[in-house]
Amino acid sequence: MIDLHTHSIFSDGVLIPAELARRAEDKGLTAIGITDHGDLSNLDFIIPRIVAISNELNPVLNIKIIPGIEITHVPPKLMTDTVRKARDFGAQIVVVHGETIVEPVAPGTNIAAIHAGVDILAHPGLISEDDVLAAKDKNVLLEISARRGHCLTNGHVARLAVKIGAKLIVNTDTHSPRDLIDSDFAKQIVAGAGLDDGSFEIMQENAAALIN
């Protein structure tokens, strides 16, 4: 299983990257994205450290660490510049903290992230059909979330993605050890979003294509 949305002590997670990777490896994951929360104040601190530890650990683990960032609560007008700087600092995956219904994310964040060319729009909440269409056109993956609260709109996201033909991905948004899941539980999350039996495998293919 591939999970491309997790957090370490470099934001609000509780695990150092090495322990996060090891616990994910023990769950049977083959790749993990470490995507701590960032904005223009800390990209230069977080991303190079995740890049450095991934370079140290990847040769000796049976799991691949993908260094990334989750751009979080950045005003939509600053999104394009923030995404560009994240990539310049070495983020191989750029996730944006979408308009989840359980946090006061600024309206317009979803479409700003899509137009900025992010890789994954995390927990996009009650995303509009127009924004899903834009995600399809820009090849932005829409997240089905295993995280409490953010998962409340999984069914809405899944329904529109299927209707319009946008690509989906399933992630945990892990912050602590108990958030990590194996592929069997991930399949239940996908089924709970109203998707068919083959959807999990397609999501994993989408994740693999992103990191390869």
Question: pLDDT tens-digit profile of 130-150?
Answer: 999 999 999 999 999 999 999
- pLDDT at residue 55 greater than cutoff 90: yes
Element (H, E) at 171: strand 168-171
Q: Other C-beta atoms within 10 Å of 175: how many?
A: 17
CATH 3.40.50.1370 for the 2-211 domain, yes or no: no
User: Considering the chain, what is the average pLDDT of its residues?
Assistant: 98
Q: Residue holding tokens 């002590």?
A: 9
Q: What are phi and psi of 171, to 5 degrees?
A: -135, 165
104, with CB counted inside 10 A (0-12, 13-18, 19+), is exposed
pLDDT tens-digit readout, 168-206: 999 999 999 999 999 999 999 999 999 998 999 999 999
Domain residue ranges of the chain, discontinuous segments joined by +: 2-211
